[in-house]
Chains A and B, each alone.
Chain A
């Protein structure tokens, strides 16, 4: 039978926490992107877990949508990082504060 739904949710929560911590604490944009991926996948895991629990495919379809969005987002994120390095800027999100009020 394998582990129960609770376990999947627990693992998803832990992953989401790790991802959030990464986004908040790390300064390198690459790691921030990685952490974002972890958060998205944590939510995917939760979606699929619930989908299995309720015997409905809705959650799984939604998870596929999330993957597509994640892929697109990585493209934009990595593009930004490439643009950063091309301009010789340091890879540190704290130095990019031009939108300060």
Chain B
């Protein structure tokens, strides 16, 4: 069991190392398959561990395995250990399962790309880092994984390193995440100084028995929350995620949708004892989540880049998870994470198929009418979109509505506000998702689409027609290595929701409850009430998107509101004015007033001074033998006189 878990952790690392060390000795496709294979081996390991743990008594499903002492400073020791329990197992299976599918998909997507090997090494490295994050058996190893996924994300966003936008986006993501990492590190320092340990169980013991003062717990929880919101792109540290779409599309699917950005949710669920000891901070997490749902949702309404719309929807969906974790509905937080991983990866990968087919075009204004050209992609994208909008019986419905009903069960001013935010979010989700869907798939095929359609017919229109009727039409939409993973994800997006049917069959929730007992549980009637409202709202959103599309208008009409939304509520501008410009100003001022006159100037002056002193001294060197002799004689006389006089 533990062996399976270790295998799961180490297989992707081995894959990454192998590709790195082998370099050009292996072919590009070998590198791709090594990467894919290593992640799937990891999945097999996780599956073995899952099957064995599932057979155990629900009360002792948590296993801590220590390999050796990694760090020892006096009494303070940090062992290299992994924690295998229901929560980390869910994460392990999502990371390696969805990750494996996405890496497999990359085999087709990245074919012919320069530096393919580097890409696949990074992907395997990312999977390892993410596993380190979720399997790390103590807080320090969690932070190690936390930092490594940030690095992997940086490397992969900046994969097209010859594009200035990509490197800028990579830096932005790294800096934003560094803010969160610093907050987390401070929280850990505080914990070490107060409890002297970074072990999960001991710290949770301290937290739940109330051995530490409330102010300390608040600070620790705030630090953890800071790390979580930076990694999960929640307000106000969210600006990096849309820019991160500069990376290759499978990277967006894996890192910026399915796994890494949900690490914040995992963190809150994992350290729920600490958050429960600081209820105000936990509520803050819920409020941040609720606000992010709305903010990301409205910004998504006006985006034209297919990947950015999906990126904002990711932010919004993670907002739901934060909301759930913040009110203590850990099971549903993890469940939404689980279903979201499937349908969001599906949407990104389907978008990737389109982008791949249209030779890199991402602007939806140049798409349209793809339904007839790419029927397979249309079908899977529609499944993903319906799941995202929360239409039954697809997976998003079960998980999202569970969250809203949990907020209703929480009650009070906070609970009802969160319910309202969640419901408005449902409306927005339906609207922006189907705005995107209609723009991309409906209407007459655009020029660009016609240009890339078929590919085997001489006449473009004919090519498009024949693609529909052809038996092997799916093949013309992209390589099989792309279409098969997308199909698997579409199936998973459809059925994953049945793991938690309120009041009927809730194995997923019971699985998580063993680790994180929920603070609120909705009654079945609350569940069905919110579900009905949410579905009606999502349907309204879809209807709005459809009627706007029919009237060939955009959902948000031109005007001031649209301008504000197009500027993403001016967050970038605000940070620019608050941090970037002042620091630039100070730097420029220092350069003008300090560096150039003082440091550079003094260097020149020191040089000139030395040169002048040298010139003066050189004049003593006359070259005249007799004058030297005289100087020596006089010096000796003076020395003797001084010597005698002093004595």
**Complex alpha-carbon distance, A27 and B620, angstroms:** 20
A100 at the interface (CB under 8 A from B): yes
Q: How far is the CB of B152 from chain A (nearest CB, A)?
A: 63
Q: Which of A74-88 contact B (CB under 8 A)?
A: none
* CB <8 Å contact, A97 and B622: yes
Q: How far is the CB of B617 from chain A (nearest CB, A)?
A: 7
Contacts of A27 in B (CB 8 A): 626
**Complex alpha-carbon distance, A98 and B625, angstroms:** 11
Q: How far is the CB of A38 from chain B (nearest CB, A)?
A: 14
Q: Which residue of B lies closest to A17 (CB)?
A: B633
A63 at the interface (CB under 8 A from B): no
* CB <8 Å contact, A101 and B619: yes
The interface on chain A, measured as residues whose beta carbon lies within 8 A of the other chain's beta carbons, has a size of 14
Q: How far is the CB of A99 from chain B (nearest CB, A)?
A: 5
Contacts of B621 in A (CB 8 A): 99-101
Q: Which residue of B lies closest to A25 (CB)?
A: B626
**Complex alpha-carbon distance, A8 and B495, angstroms:** 122
Contacts of A97 in B (CB 8 A): 622-624
B606 at the interface (CB under 8 A from A): no
B624-637 vs A: 1/0 string, CB under 8 Å?
11100110010000
Contacts of B622 in A (CB 8 A): 97, 100-101
A96 at the interface (CB under 8 A from B): yes
Q: Which residue of A lies closest to B619 (CB)?
A: A101
Contacts of B623 in A (CB 8 A): 96-101
B618 at the interface (CB under 8 A from A): yes
* CB <8 Å contact, B624 and A101: no
Q: Which residue of B lies closest to A100 (CB)?
A: B623
Q: Which residue of B lies closest to A21 (CB)?
A: B633
How many Cβ-Cβ contacts under 8 Å join chain A to chain B? 36
Q: Which of B227-266 contact A (CB under 8 A)?
A: none
Contacts of A23 in B (CB 8 A): 626, 629
**Complex alpha-carbon distance, A39 and B218, angstroms:** 91
A11 at the interface (CB under 8 A from B): no
* CB <8 Å contact, A20 and B620: no
A1-43 vs B: 1/0 string, CB under 8 Å?
0000000000000000000100111010000100000000000
A68 at the interface (CB under 8 A from B): no
**Complex alpha-carbon distance, A27 and B627, angstroms:** 11
* CB <8 Å contact, A93 and B633: no
Contacts of A93 in B (CB 8 A): 624-626
* CB <8 Å contact, B618 and A20: no
**Complex alpha-carbon distance, A27 and B624, angstroms:** 10
Interface residue range, chain B: 10 to 19
* CB <8 Å contact, A101 and B617: yes
Q: Which of B147-190 contact A (CB under 8 A)?
A: none
Contacts of A101 in B (CB 8 A): 617-623
Contacts of B625 in A (CB 8 A): 32, 93-94, 96
**Complex alpha-carbon distance, A17 and B249, angstroms:** 97
* CB <8 Å contact, B629 and A24: yes
Q: Which residue of A lies closest to B625 (CB)?
A: A93
Q: How far is the CB of B514 from chain A (nearest CB, A)?
A: 89
Q: Which residue of A lies closest to B617 (CB)?
A: A101
Q: A93-B625, A96-B625 are in contact. Are A24 and B630 (CB under 8 A)?
A: yes
Q: How far is the CB of B613 from chain A (nearest CB, A)?
A: 13
Partner of B624, one of A20, A25, A32, A94: A94
Q: Which of B414-460 contact A (CB under 8 A)?
A: none
Contacts of B624 in A (CB 8 A): 93-94, 97, 100
* CB <8 Å contact, A94 and B618: no
**Complex alpha-carbon distance, A5 and B623, angstroms:** 40
Q: How far is the CB of B618 from chain A (nearest CB, A)?
A: 3
Q: How far is the CB of B638 from chain A (nearest CB, A)?
A: 14
Q: Which residue of A lies closest to B633 (CB)?
A: A20
Q: Which of B273-302 contact A (CB under 8 A)?
A: none
Contacts of B619 in A (CB 8 A): 101
* CB <8 Å contact, A94 and B626: yes
Best-surrounded residue of B619, B626, B630 (most CB of chain A within 10 A): B626
* CB <8 Å contact, B626 and A24: yes
Contacts of B620 in A (CB 8 A): 101
**Complex alpha-carbon distance, A99 and B628, angstroms:** 12
**Complex alpha-carbon distance, A98 and B621, angstroms:** 10
Contacts of A100 in B (CB 8 A): 621-624
Q: Which of B588-647 contact A (CB under 8 A)?
A: 617-626, 629-630, 633
**Complex alpha-carbon distance, A94 and B626, angstroms:** 8
Contacts of B630 in A (CB 8 A): 24
Q: How far is the CB of A28 from chain B (nearest CB, A)?
A: 11
Q: How far is the CB of B631 from chain A (nearest CB, A)?
A: 10
Contacts of B633 in A (CB 8 A): 20, 24
Contacts of A32 in B (CB 8 A): 625
Q: How far is the CB of A52 from chain B (nearest CB, A)?
A: 24
Contacts of A96 in B (CB 8 A): 623, 625
**Complex alpha-carbon distance, A32 and B629, angstroms:** 11
**Complex alpha-carbon distance, A20 and B621, angstroms:** 21
Q: Which residue of A lies closest to B637 (CB)?
A: A20
Q: Which of B289-331 contact A (CB under 8 A)?
A: none
Q: Which of A49-101 contact B (CB under 8 A)?
A: 93-94, 96-101
Q: How far is the CB of A89 from chain B (nearest CB, A)?
A: 14
Beyond A20-B629, A94-B625, A97-B623, 13 additional contacts (C-beta under 8 Å) are A23-B629, A24-B626, A24-B630, A24-B633, A32-B625, A96-B625, A97-B622, A97-B624, A98-B623, A99-B621, A100-B623, A101-B621, A101-B623
**CB within 8 Å of A: which residues of B?**
617-626, 629-630, 633
The 10 closest A-B CB pairs, nearest first, are A101-B621, A101-B618, A97-B623, A100-B623, A99-B623, A93-B625, A23-B629, A24-B630, A24-B629, A20-B633
25 A–B pairs (Cβ distance < 8 Å), ordered by A: A20-B629, A20-B633, A23-B626, A23-B629, A24-B626, A24-B630, A24-B633, A32-B625, A93-B624, A93-B625, A93-B626, A94-B624, A96-B623, A96-B625, A97-B623, A97-B624, A98-B623, A99-B621, A99-B623, A100-B621, A101-B617, A101-B618, A101-B619, A101-B622, A101-B623
**CB within 8 Å of B: which residues of A?**
20, 23-25, 27, 32, 93-94, 96-101
